[in-house]
Structure 1
């Protein structure tokens, strides 16, 4: 009897082991099978979008971002090198007053940009790339130029971020070659994005949460230090550094030179639209994400920038020496106050932030590459989407470009990265300019074709006036950069190399635009309002029902307590 029981137990164990082995093999087979090309459903099987005409989706891209992902991306996504490190260079060039002026102007500009983008994206949802609005509402050649401009901006950001992340390790005096850290971070970022949109979303949620806690904590600490609460008994700081060395470091020219730093710091804010397009419910995700951007601008950029201007003098030698993270004004402010350990902790935050930007750059490159190929503006191989909804060809292309980061092993790395930065320097300005232009053209087409904007699910704050303001500021920034390129701060005048490193993005955009015009022989400068397609893909609603719903919402809103109204207005 005992032998039978032992035999039965052994048989059961063998069976259980066999089942586990078969399950493991099935998981491996499923994982491998997930990389096969997805099948695109026929047009007749595609449901209409929100009651409107059927929309043929670009490709079966994965839409699994949750509202919490989109909101955190909108709040703190892409807060990284531009704020934590480049802010020091901007402070040295412009001084505290010049820095706040330039960052303040770009903050207001970007608020209206995101409002315009929210109106366009909620009314004309697009799965792959919001820059498709350029081709649809402005001009095909301009759309071609802007697509490649945006892709180049983020392709360049990946290797730059990986190298910046490796340089932050030098803060602790690491003797390991930076190339080793580049390789580790490269594998880490590739691994996250292999999991698709879900991997990107979870990664950014964690990264952004850490950044939110760190920046809010720094702002509280900064107020204490300014009021005289530092351990090294510096006393009340107040506006000490505004009087000496002064409010402006290099005058008007310095203020002009910092606008591009501000644009670099704010670049990526428009990713909330790209993320919301990949959300489970884009209709509700977009308005929420647009509201969160207000707090990102107010707290993470303006408030932290203002506080830094009170804690770090513009002539501080620490702004010009040391590793990338040791020249961060945030680290300098903490170190100069005599607080121990905390500078190292904040350096970890900087490392995480830079990796967050690298993670976002993969997402921001791969999706537009797919939309670019679908529009006929790039190689068709980029249209390869696997069964998990991952744009594998675009991801592999992005990963391949990221290998440029290994040039950090070369003695010419500074030269290479200066030119990479030159390509992407003004890219954000052109992107923002195009968004405002698209909103104005759509508004004009609605008037000409008799379409009421009351039908739009989301209306931009400021309306067309905000768009006009954005266009004017963008054009003025381009003029200011042209001036600084010809007459750089503290450098020789009329140096062609210096000029190109400041303004190279503009001729690159011009080459793409003119090249497409010559290739297609399409000499129209813009799409006429009466010919513009503002019907296909638009979220169509019953106007009477919509107005009734809004009236009911207003009545319900009036009955709510003041704190509820305050929270839901801005959050």
Structure 2
């Protein structure tokens, strides 16, 4: 069965969300309701979605790729890059939260692009988003294979790739409930590991390690300096890396359809994004630059020639822990397991919903009786073979190529989300609705939407300007080759299918909308249930849920 059913009448999910899913007897409720529109299973719990949004995006991009950003721009550029992209990501999530709470189904912002703008625009957004995630997946395979090659080169890189490619494929075919449960615990381990490194960095900088002669302080900010000799040029280069690190904060919108109660889970995950940015991204940027020298040659190469080095690994080694690098590599390996799973999941669901909305080949929209999009998973995982370019180029160079390739797509997709939000608000007003009718209200609208739109378009055009002087043809092509892809897809599809830009009064604000949400984005049954559960919780747990 395809499980896809186009509806033109107003739909509400309160009947589904109000009733608890039956349990399979294993404690994780595997037998859950199949979504009638998409055919996927609503197997993700609120805690799964929150942890996926919080730490599922912590992967090799942050832990390893930040080494390239640090050496290109220095610790100051790393902080600025993470800070600026963090502000933009916050704006994007506010826009997304307002719309996804009302319309949680069908891939969210991809289906909203068709609803608020036009079908050709949705096709361009969807394919660019798919490109982001197959590139991220390729980088994660790149890192995980490089780690094992560093431990033992008796197996070739392509051999490690085939082993992990098969393992991840089989796991994804188990279904969304298994994915959500494993992702929850792996994400929790990532948060604990990152916190432990932050504590180590504070002790190391303060001179509190056993046998340490003097405090490290801000030594690396003085030598090689805050910019590592690259000035603003380094800052511009860092933006591309940072955009890739942040890619994934919007993934809660893709996962909303497979969440048992998206009306509650999605707003909760959106509200926590500020703390994610502060702790995970800004914390990593600060401590990586504090304890790792930006001019360390290991950041971009190693004696093995095929491996990548993390600022965490170098900091541990410089602190005198000879075998500490193995511990960090184990931690990075665990993050890769989680990040690979998340990348295949998001990429496959993106192409699934596109196929179901006639924006991709029809067969990719098929789901089996357990709600697993088999063909979409196969395609997403297959494109991950891009990582095998590191066989000839080395992991470091391959990583840079793929990051630059996907960087522009990230900016274009984020700009599209802001534009969709602007179109949504205009239609909302034109059709006689007020801000008070919205269950989740974006902070500082319209500034968040217009800033997100302008900033992302600006960064999409300037992110590769460093390749112009001196002009490096290969780097220029790598940085900008995907920039014209968006308009090419848009105008080609528009010409072939004769699609038309939607006028504000024509936009459908009814079908697929949850009409029974209160100001917290919850249905009445959820509200009553939460009230009973909250009464039994200790005070610290009731306070902690807001963070």
**TM-score of the superposed pair, with normalisation by structure 2:** 0.86
Change (3 A) 1:68 1:542: closer
Pick from 255, 262, 279 the counterpart of residue 275 of structure 1.
Answer: 255
The match for 2:331 is 349
Assess if the C-alpha contact under 8 Å between 1:232 and 1:337 holds in 2.
no
1:519 aligns with 2:506: no
- Match of residue 215 from structure 1: 194
Distance 1:485 1:479 in 2: 12
Structure 1 residues 149 and 543: alpha-carbon distance in aligned structure 2, compared to 1, 3 A threshold: closer
Q: Specify the alignment match of 2:485 in structure 1.
A: 508
Structure 1 counterpart of 2:101: 122
Counterparts in 2 of 1:51 and 1:533: CA distance versus 1, 3 Å: farther
> Residues 334 and 514 of structure 1: is their aligned pair in 2 closer, same or farther, counting only changes over 3 Å?
same
Aligned position for 2:287: 307
In angstroms, what is the RMSD of aligned CA positions?
3.3
Secondary structure of the structure 2 residue equivalent to 1:154:
helix
Is residue 535 from structure 1 mapped to residue 510 from structure 2 by the alignment?
A: yes
- What is the aligned counterpart of 2:115 among 123, 132, 136? 136
Residue 92 (str. 1) matches residue 71 (str. 2): yes
Residues 505/450 of structure 1: CA separation in 2 closer, same or farther (3 Å cut): same
Match of 1:49?
13
How far is the alpha carbon of 1:253 from its aligned partner? Answer: 1.1
Preserved CA contact (<8 Å) 1:325 1:350: no
Q: 2:171 aligns with which of 165, 168, 192?
A: 192
Of 68, 74, 89, the residue aligned with 1:110 is: 89
1-structure distance, mates of 2:521, 2:359: 38
What CA distance in whole angstroms lies between the structure 2 residues aligned with 1:530 and 1:104? 38
Shift of 1:512: 0.9
* Alpha carbons of structure 1 residues 316 and 403: separation in structure 2 relative to 1, 3 Å: closer
Residue 336 (str. 1) matches residue 318 (str. 2): yes
Bigger share in helix? 1
Aligned to 2:44: 65
Q: CA deviation at 1:58?
A: 3.1
Secondary structure in structure 1 of the residue aligned to 2:217: coil
Q: Are the structure 2 counterparts of residues 329 and 543 from structure 1 closer, same or farther at C-alpha, using a change threshold of 3 Å?
A: closer
Deviations 1:144-182 (A, max 9, x none): 111111112212333332122110123335432222211
Distance 1:287 1:325, change over 3 A: farther
Residues 48, 180 of structure 2: 8 Å contact kept: yes
Deviation string for 1:349-405 (max 9, x for gaps)?
A: 111212322211111111111211122211111121110011122122223323454
**CA shift at 1:545, angstroms?**
12
Paired residues of 2:267 and 2:521 also in contact (CA < 8 A): no
User: 2:291 & 2:401 partners in 1: Cα distance?
Assistant: 33
1:54-88 alpha-carbon deviations (Å, 9 max, x no partner): xx953221110111211110110121121111111
Q: Which residue of 1 aligns with 2:54?
A: 75
Per-residue deviation, residues 473-530 of structure 1 (Å, max 9, x unmatched): 212312321422423xxxx32x3322111111211222211211221234x5x42212
Contact 1:145/1:513 (CA < 8 Å) preserved in 2? yes
Contact 2:2–2:365 under 8 Å retained in 1: no
What are the residue-to-residue correspondences of 1:152-191 with 2, within 5 Å?
152-191=131-170
Q: Secondary structure of 2:249's match?
A: coil
User: Shift of the alpha carbon at 1:343?
Assistant: 2.3
Q: How does 1:184-333 map to 2 (within 5 A)?
A: 184-249=163-228, 250-322=230-302, 327-333=309-315
- Contact persistence 2:133–2:347 (CA under 8 A): yes
Contact preservation (8 Å) 1:158, 1:358:
yes
- Give the direction of change, closer, same or farther, for the CA distance of 1:166–1:240 in structure 2 (3 Å limit): same
Give how far 1:320 is off.
2.7
Post-superposition offset of 1:566 = 5.2
Distance change >3 Å, CA 42–CA 507, structure 1 → 2: closer
Q: Distance in 2 between matches of 1:545 and 1:423?
A: 39
Secondary structure in 2 aligned to 1:280? coil
Q: Which moved more, 1:91-100 or 1:176-185?
A: 176-185
**SS of 2:109 mapped into structure 1:** coil
| Distance in 1 of aligned mates of 2:393 and 2:236 | 31
Q: Distance in 2 between matches of 1:352 and 1:418?
A: 22
Structure 1's 147 and 543: CA in aligned 2 closer, same or farther, altered over 3 A?
closer
The aligned residue for residue 30 of structure 2 is none
Paired residues, number: 519
- Give the whole-Å Cα distance in 1 for the aligned partners of 2:514 and 2:173: 32
Counterpart of 2:23 in structure 1 is none
The 8 Å contact of residues 102 and 514 in structure 2, kept in 1 or not, is answered as yes
Q: Does structure 1 retain, via aligned residues, the 8 Å contact 2:355–2:362?
A: yes
Q: Is the 8 A contact 2:237 2:464 kept in 1?
A: no
Q: Distance in 2 between matches of 1:80 and 1:440?
A: 32
The verdict on how the C-alpha distance between 1:502 and 1:536 changes in structure 2, with shifts beyond 3 A counting, is: same
Q: Structure 1: which 5+ residue stretches go unaligned?
A: 1-36
TM-score (norm 1): 0.83
Query: Is contact 2:149-2:156 (8 Å) kept?
Result: no
Partner of 2:126: 147
Offset, 1:565:
7.7
C-alpha distance 185-390 of structure 1, shift in aligned 2 (>3 A): same
**C-alpha separation between the residues in 2 aligned to 1:300 and 1:455?**
34
1:253-290 alpha-carbon deviations (Å, 9 max, x no partner): 11011101000111111112222331111111111211
- Whether contact under 8 Å (2:143, 2:395) holds in the other structure is no
Q: Which has the larger radius of gyration?
A: 1
